[in-house]
């Protein structure tokens, strides 16, 4: 997250998308959620939120940008406001202008990132004094993907998503994100995955490596468990993977439960070999991973 406090009651936040460099689903929990093991990386694709305190005790959301046709009724930003309003008895509301740039329901965590951004803004505007661990605990009431977005941008995530182990792996590479118009249901993806799921699956770990090439080689040996399911249902995702590999990508993977694919490239020359004609029905985003320095939330 990148935060700019324009005034006491007005905050601008850049909320990043994420990719899953690997993703294991280890088993279903007694509470109905799933235990996961994933390395998650924030990328330089951002939604931009301008959040301002208003007199009326409500959350008003206005969408702008290329994806402004997305439904906004009771979205995660609104839910975040309602949660904190009820918990702390907030008498005022917020007005949110949300420039939506992260594809929706794409496995990139855009809604979860927006939710975390709203919670950070409300915490500051209303001077609630909540720590990051406290915000994480509140966010779990709204979604399992949200806690990651209170981290510095790279972390091993486990449990149902609440256990965040911040990491310091290389970020000196480039990424092409390929977003399709395929509609994927996360719940249905988990149901399909459960057909062969065992509850005693062990968590994998990155092998020792040296440098960027070794890091990528270690990642290649891991997987996203959802790929086996989605590749059978949507063969076009396999076509995208093959096209990215042929273009020089060192690693190609699906993010989350899909349907977005991404390729990792060592440098700009390799990335320039990607032929947009291979992805005529997709949205391509050229981005980089990032790792925030130090602790806390940096200012814009």
Asked if residues 15 and 1 have their Cβ atoms less than 8 Å apart, the reply is yes
Helical H segments across the chain, by residue range:
76-88, 110-125, 132-139, 186-193, 211-220, 226-233, 235-246, 268-271
C-alpha–C-alpha distance, residues 72 and 188, integer Å = 23
Out of 47, 100, 114, 145, which one is annotated catalytic? 145
Active site residue 18: yes
What gap in Å lies between CA 141 and CA 134, rounded to an integer? 12
Closest CA to 15 of 122, 167, 120: 120
Reduced to 3 states (helix: H, G, I; strand: E, B; else coil), residue 227 is helix
User: Is residue 145 flagged as an active site residue?
Assistant: yes
Relative to beta strand 93-99, strand 59-64 is parallel
The rounded distance, in Å, linking the Cα atoms of 137 and 165 is 15
Any idea which residues carry the catalytic annotation?
18, 145
């Amino acid at each position: 997250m990148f935060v700019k406090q324009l005034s006491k009651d007005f905050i601008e936040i850049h909320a990043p998308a994420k990719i899953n460099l690997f993703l294991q689903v280890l088993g279903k929990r007694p509470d109905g959620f799933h235990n996961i093991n994933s390395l998650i990386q924030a990328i330089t694709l951002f939604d931009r939120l301008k959040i301002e305190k208003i007199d009326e005790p409500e959350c008003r959301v206005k969408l702008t940008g290329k994806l402004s046709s997305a439904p906004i009724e009771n979205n995660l930003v609104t839910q975040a406001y309602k949660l904190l309003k009820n918990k702390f008895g907030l008498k005022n509301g917020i007005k949110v202008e949300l420039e939506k740039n992260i594809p929706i329901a794409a496995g990139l965590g855009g809604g979860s990132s927006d939710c975390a951004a709203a919670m950070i803004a409300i915490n500051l505007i209303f001077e609630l004094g909540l720590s990051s661990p406290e915000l994480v605990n509140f966010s779990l009431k709204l979604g399992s993907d949200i806690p990651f977005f209170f981290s510095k941008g790279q972390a091993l995530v486990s449990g149902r998503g609440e256990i965040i182990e911040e990491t310091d792996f290389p970020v000196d590479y480039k990424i092409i994100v390929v977003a399709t118009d395929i509609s994927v249901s996360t719940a249905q993806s988990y149901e399909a995955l459960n057909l062969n799921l065992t509850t005693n699956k062990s968590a994998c770990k990155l092998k020792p490596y040296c440098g960027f090439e070794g890091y990528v080689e270690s990642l290649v040996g891991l997987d996203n468990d959802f790929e086996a399911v989605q590749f059978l249902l949507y063969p076009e995702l396999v076509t995208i993977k093959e096209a990215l590999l042929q273009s020089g990508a060192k690693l190609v993977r699906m993010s989350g439960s899909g349907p977005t694919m991404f390729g990792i490239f060592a440098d700009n020359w390799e990335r320039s070999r990607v032929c947009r004609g291979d992805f005529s029905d997709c949205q391509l985003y050229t981005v980089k991973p990032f790792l925030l320095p130090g602790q806390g939330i940096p200012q814009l």
